Amino acid sequence: MRPSHKVYTHSCVCGRTFAPLIAAVLILGFSATSAHAGNRKFILFTDMEPDDRVALNLFAGAHPPEEVLLVGTTVKHSGRKKVLAQRLLEQVGYKGVPVIQGQGGHPEVYLEIASSKAARTYAQEGENILSPRELQEIEKRPYSSGDLESAVIRALEKNQDVEIVMLAPPTDLVAVIEKRPDLIRKIKHIHIMGGWIEVPGATALPVRRTTYNWNMDPGAAAKLLQHEEIPMTLYSSHVFKTSFSGGSINDKNYPKIIDGFRELQTELPSIGELKTATLSWDRHIMENIPVLKPVIEPFAGSQFTPTDPSVVLGIENPKIIEKSSRVSIRMDLGDLDPARGYSVNVVASETSNIHLVDKVDTVEFESTFLKLLKRLPEQVRMNQVNQHGCQRLMNEIF
Ligand SMILES: [Ca+2]
C-alpha cells in the first residue's frame, strides 16, 4: 500500500456518511492507478499560458491526484489564473488538489523589456472559456496574494522529498526559501523552465540574454540560481531554438502530436479549452507583433512551444534529455538590454547541482508526448473516480 493512501482516506470530507461506498470506490481507484503511480509528491507553479495548459494535461496523464500537494498560480492577474487553473484541474480529475493564488500584479509593474511585451500585455486570458460576466467579476479581485507562499511553507513543513515543477517565474518559491531556509532540505528536486537565448554580441561569441520567465522576476531567478545545493534540472529557452526548428510544435513538424490533440478535443474539455486559449493567445501575438503573422497564422489555435511541456515530459521520461551538464549560472542584474533581457554567465561546475539541459532528444520527446496523450482519457477517468470518492481537506494535506 502506498503511503499516500493513508493521507487520502484521512481527508475524506464525506467519509462518515458514505463510508462503505467510498471505501469500494477508493479500492477500485487505487488498484486502477497503481499500475503507474508512485508515491512522489509534487508542487506545481503555473502561469496558465497555453503551453502550461499542455504541460498540465500531460502531467495529469502521468500522475494521479494524490501525488500533487498543490498547484500555485503566479504572474500578472494570478487570481484569474487561479480560477482558470481550478477549472482545468477539475476537468482532468484533480478536483481535490488545492489551487492557491500567488504573487502577481498589473502588467505595468513588470519590467519593460521589448521581447516580453506581447506576453506582458496579454489581458484576454479566459475569453470564450469563462463568461464575460465571470471575467468582469474576477477582474475586480486582487491581482496578487501571499496565500501561495504560506501554503508552500505548510506543505514543505509536513512533507519530505517534495519535487517542484516550476513552469513560471520562481517568485513565490524564492520568497519561501528566503523566509524559511530550513525548508530547503525538504525539496528533492526542482524541474524548472527558464533561461536565456543566445544573441549576437560585439565579439564573435554570442551573448546570453534572459527570456520571459526570468524577465518577469529577474531578482527571484538570480537568487534561486545561487542555491546550487538544490538539485535542479533547468530547461532553458536557447535549447529549444536549436532542438526544435522554429521553436514551435505544429502541424508541419509534429503532425502526430497535433492530430492527437484534435482527436481528444471533443472528448476532453481540458483539450477543447486548450484550443480556445491557444487561439486567443495567437490572435493577440499576431496583432501585437505583425511580423510574426505569416509564421503564426497557418497554425493559429493548433500550436504551442515545447518548453513547459518538456519539463513534464522530462519528469516522466528522463531519456528526453540527450545531454546535460552541471553548471553555475550568474545573472548580471546590472547589464540589461531593454530589447532582450539581462546578461547571463554560465560556467561548468562539478560541485553545482544545477543540471542544464544541453540537448533534447526529439524522438524521445515525440514518443513520450504521444504516450501521455494516448493515456490521458483513461487516466482522467481514474483521477475522477478518486476525486468523486474523496475531496481532500486542505488542512489535512498540508
Ligand atoms: Ca509557463
Residues less than 5 Å from ion ligand 1, measured at CB: 47, 49, 52, 167-168, 308
Q: What band does 265 get if pLDDT is binned at 50, 70 and 90?
A: very high
Maximum distance among all Cα pairs of the chain, rounded to whole angstroms: 72
Query: Does residue 133 surpass a pLDDT of 90?
Result: yes
CA-wise closest residue to 381 among 131, 28, 135: 28
Q: How far is the CA of 194 from the centre of ligand 1 (A)?
A: 9
Q: How far is the CA of 188 from the centre of ligand 1 (A)?
A: 21
Q: How far is the CA of 152 from the centre of ligand 1 (A)?
A: 19
Question: Residues 272, 380: contact at Cβ < 8 Å?
Answer: no
For cell 511541456, what's the residue? Answer: 309
Query: Does residue 210 surpass a pLDDT of 90?
Result: yes
Q: How far is the CA of 333 from the centre of ligand 1 (A)?
A: 22
- Convert the pLDDT of each residue in 149-191 to its tens digit: 999 999 999 999 999 999 999 999 999 999 999 999 999 999 9
Please tell me the distance from the alpha carbon of residue 123 to that of residue 281, in angstroms, as a whole number: 10
Please tell me the distance from the alpha carbon of residue 19 to that of residue 294, in angstroms, as a whole number: 58
CA–CA distances in Å: residue 307 to residues 105, 138, 374: 24, 29, 20
Please tell me the distance from the alpha carbon of residue 379 to that of residue 85, in angstroms, as a whole number: 18
Q: How far is the CA of 54 from the centre of ligand 1 (A)?
A: 10
| Residues in CB range of 293: below 8 A, 6 or more apart | 286
**Full DSSP string of 22-33:** HHHHHHHHHHHH
Q: How far is the CA of 12 from the centre of ligand 1 (A)?
A: 32
The whole-model pTM stands at: 0.89
Q: How far is the CA of 338 from the centre of ligand 1 (A)?
A: 21
- Convert the pLDDT of each residue in 364-387 to its tens digit: 999 999 999 999 999 999 988 876
Q: How far is the CA of 9 from the centre of ligand 1 (A)?
A: 33
3-state secondary structure of 68: strand
Please tell me the distance from the alpha carbon of residue 231 to that of residue 224, in angstroms, as a whole number: 11
Please tell me the distance from the alpha carbon of residue 196 to that of residue 186, in angstroms, as a whole number: 28
pLDDT score, position 391: 53
Q: How many CB atoms lie within 10 A of CB 203?
A: 7
Name the DSSP letter for residue 301: T
Q: What does the block give as the cell for 168? A: 513560471
pLDDT score, position 246: 72
Q: How far is the CA of 193 from the centre of ligand 1 (A)?
A: 8
For cell 492527437, what's the residue? Answer: 260
Rg (CA), the chain: 20
Question: Residues 274, 57: contact at Cβ < 8 Å?
Answer: yes
pLDDT score, position 14: 33
Q: How far is the CA of 46 from the centre of ligand 1 (A)?
A: 6
Q: How far is the CA of 307 from the centre of ligand 1 (A)?
A: 8
Spell out the domains of the chain, with CATH numbers in brackets: 3-397 (3.90.245.10)
Please tell me the distance from the alpha carbon of residue 171 to that of residue 98, in angstroms, as a whole number: 19
Q: What does the block give as the cell for 231? A: 538539485
Q: What band does 15 get if pLDDT is binned at 50, 70 and 90?
A: very low
Q: How far is the CA of 104 from the centre of ligand 1 (A)?
A: 14
- Segment 49-65 mean pLDDT: 96
Q: How far is the CA of 51 from the centre of ligand 1 (A)?
A: 6
Task: Give the H or E element holding residue 334.
Answer: strand 321-337
